Amino acid sequence: MKRDSLILSLLLPAVLVFSGCQTMLTATEMVTTQAESIGMIDPSHARAIKKSTGAVSRSIEEFTPEQEYYIGRSVAAVILSKYQPYTNQPADQYLNLLGQTLAQASDMPEIFHGYRFLVLNSDEINAFATPGGHIFVTRGLLRCCRNEDAVAAVLAHEIGHIQLKHGIQAINKARVTDALATIAAESARTLAPNEVAMLTETFGGAIMDITTTLINNGYSRSFEYEADNAAQTILRRLGYDPNGLVEMLKVMGKNLKSGGNDFAKTHPAPQDRVDKIQQKLDIKYSPVRTPEARQSRFMMAVGKI
Amino acid sequence: MFRVRTFLLVLIFLCVFTAPLFSATQEFLSVQVKVGQLRAAPSFLGSVLASLAYGDQVALIEDKGAWKRVAIRGGKVKGWVHMSAITAKKIVLQAGTADVKTGATSGELALAGKGFNAKVEAEFKSKNKNIDYTLVDRMEALAIKPDRMQAFLKQGQVNLPEEVAP
């Protein structure tokens, strides 16, 4: 019996790859029922098989894009209670034109409410992305950019964090389990008031987990490198100079103050990121070549920020 | 023991080889974004034929990389939609509908407005009065129209590839 479970647990993931999960579930259920009816396996065994395939599909269940959006809205609201917006229309317009264009070249161009960008009035070198598509960049970080290709790299890196669901993964695992259990119960009926209260408490905890990670602790180094790789893919697809990110990181290396409560604390050292990128892409640094029209619109919007 | 193992082998065989048969039947997908676009071509530069609403069902016709050709309104309108805007899960707008009663499992079903939603946000807001959503709402209004985006691409000599591989 134990050995069968082992075989099943080893083979199921492989089968899931070959056929869609949906097909797998339907097929498993049909065949298992069939086997049970002809007496090939006993009912308890049949139940166990049905249950274990169900568990596989539930464990990969994630929050819907709509729920990620609501989590993101509150994370954005918390960030905006700690940082003031710069409130400069040309800068915000430019960031949204550039950022929303970049998002369309990403692997996840469509999210529930789209991607939105905002400049924060802070000298810190910082940027934040919420699971709902809200992306914030400080004036301090924009000052590390000498051309549009560099700004594109900054925004594409943040889009990368959203696309790779890094924010959602910052939520405490037990909280995710709690939330999904309460939410699953909701498919059959509306939630009782105490359940709404429970869900709100979990929600508040999730917002805290994400904002603490974004503002204080930072993601793991591997998440940062993954976001850099995603950024490079986006930039390449659109035809931006891959040296944009390298150049921005070099300026950042000069501008960052050690002990600062910003990228100095939450991100790998700029030079380490440059090394990883160059190693990955096998590129040698050469100064960014950007067309004149691209450079003049960059200068107009954020060049003197 | 032998029977069980034979059964498992048969099960796996069937799953692998019958998968194409299952997918050959009409496949329906649900729109999982607030507002989706049905386009004339598999690209964000393709003109918009129709707007899709959250939870709308579309019938899959053809796959092309990250883009799916789908039909809406009983096949009257056909066009392209990016795969990130749709899901294989059926999205039901309200709890208590027929689909819920037939006992579809949560893996097959996603309820719109379920879980973390506007109601939970309102409750959270009432407990955290120092958090202000006005600026978030203002930020969310910063949507860029497709024609402005195309002009931006052209001016900056940047190209959005026709088809972005998944």
CB of B117 less than 8 A from some CB of A: yes
User: What's the residue count for chain A?
Assistant: 305
Residue B166 resides in a domain: no
Domain of residue B125, residue span: 2-155
Q: Which of A42, A49, A66 to mutate to test the interface with B (most CBs of B within 10 A)?
A: A66
CB of B112 less than 8 A from some CB of A: yes
Structure token digits, residue A13:
């993931």
Residue B165 resides in a domain: no
Residue B67 resides in a domain: yes
Phi, psi of A49 (to 5 degrees): -65, -45
Structure token digits, residue B75:
């096949």
Q: Which of A268, A257, A196 is nearest to A227 (CA)?
A: A268
Distance of CA B114 to the CA centre of its chain: 16
d(CA A26, CA A3): 24
The number of folded domains in chain B is 1
Instruction: Give B11's contacts in chain A (Cβ within 8 Å).
Output: 27-28, 31-32, 35, 49
Q: Token pair 């879980």 is at which residue?
A: B115
Instruction: Give B66's contacts in chain A (Cβ within 8 Å).
Output: 107
d(CA B162, CA B141): 27
Q: Token pair 């034109």 is at which residue?
A: A97
Q: What is the pLDDT of residue B4?
A: 72
> Is residue A189 classed exposed, middle or buried when 0-12, 13-18 and 19+ CB atoms within 10 A define those classes?
exposed
Q: What is the pLDDT of residue B14?
A: 66
Q: Token pair 């209004």 is at which residue?
A: B141
Residue B160 resides in a domain: no
Nearest chain B residue to A107 by CA distance is B166
- Whether residues B124 and A21 touch (CB distance < 8 A) is answered with no
Residue B162 resides in a domain: no
Per-residue b/e over B107-124, b at no fewer than 16 CB within 10 Å?
bebbbbbbbbbeebbebb
Q: Which of B73, B3, B82, B93 is nearest to B38 (CA)?
A: B82
User: Distances from the Cα of B58 to the Cαs of A77, B36, B81, B113, B166, in angstroms?
Assistant: 34, 11, 10, 20, 20
Q: Average per-residue pLDDT in chain B?
A: 82
d(CA A112, CA B11): 38
CATH number of the CATH domain containing B82: 2.30.30.40
- Whether residues A148 and B112 touch (CB distance < 8 A) is answered with no
Based on its alpha-carbon atoms, the radius of gyration of chain A, rounded to whole angstroms, reads 23
Residue B77 resides in a domain: yes
Q: Which of B15, B1, B17 is nearest to A41 (CA)?
A: B1
Nearest chain A residue to B10 by CA distance is A31
Please report how many Cα atoms fall inside a 13 Å half-sphere around the Cα of residue A178, on the Cβ side: 17
Confidence class for position B166, pLDDT limits 50, 70, 90: very low
Q: What is the pLDDT of residue A21?
A: 42
Calculated CA dihedral for residues B95, A195, B34, B74, nearest 10 degrees: -10
Tell me, what amino acid is at B59? A
Which residues numbered 76-105 in B keep a CB inside 8 Å of some CB on A?
Answer: 82, 84-85, 88, 91, 95-96, 100, 105
Based on its alpha-carbon atoms, the radius of gyration of chain B, rounded to whole angstroms, reads 21
From first to last of the 305 residues of chain A, give the pLDDT tens digit.
455 555 555 555 554 444 444 444 445 455 555 555 555 555 555 554 444 444 333 333 578 899 999 999 999 999 999 999 999 999 999 999 999 999 999 999 999 999 999 999 999 999 999 999 999 999 999 999 999 999 999 999 999 999 999 999 999 988 888 888 777 776 556 677 888 888 899 999 999 999 999 999 999 999 999 999 999 999 999 999 989 999 999 999 999 988 888 888 889 999 999 988 888 877 788 899 999 999 999 999 999 99
Any idea which of A7-16, A134-143, B125-134, B141-150 has the lowest mean pLDDT?
A7-16
- Whether residues B156 and A148 touch (CB distance < 8 A) is answered with yes
Least CB-CB distance to B124: which of A66, A76, A203? Answer: A203
Q: Which of B77, B46, B80 is nearest to B64 (CA)?
A: B80
Residue B161 resides in a domain: no
First-residue to last-residue Cα distance in chain A:
68
Residue B92 resides in a domain: yes
> Is residue A98 classed exposed, middle or buried when 0-12, 13-18 and 19+ CB atoms within 10 A define those classes?
buried
> Is residue A198 classed exposed, middle or buried when 0-12, 13-18 and 19+ CB atoms within 10 A define those classes?
middle
- Whether residues B22 and A74 touch (CB distance < 8 A) is answered with no
- Whether residues A199 and B115 touch (CB distance < 8 A) is answered with yes
CB of B8 less than 8 A from some CB of A: yes
Which residues numbered 29-58 in B keep a CB inside 8 Å of some CB on A?
Answer: 32-34, 36, 44, 54
E strands present in B65-103: 67-72, 77-82, 86-87, 90-92
Strand order in the sheet with B77-82: B48-53, B35-39, B77-82, B67-72, B57-64, B28-31, B86-87
Q: Which of B16, B93, B142 to mutate to test the interface with A (most CBs of A within 10 A)?
A: B142
Distance of CA A40 to the CA centre of its chain: 46
Q: Which of A77, A113, A68, A69 is nearest to A211 (CA)?
A: A77
Least CB-CB distance to A71: which of B66, B116, B159? Answer: B116
Tell me, what amino acid is at A78? V
- In angstroms, the separation between the Cα of residue B80 and the nearest Cα of chain A is 13
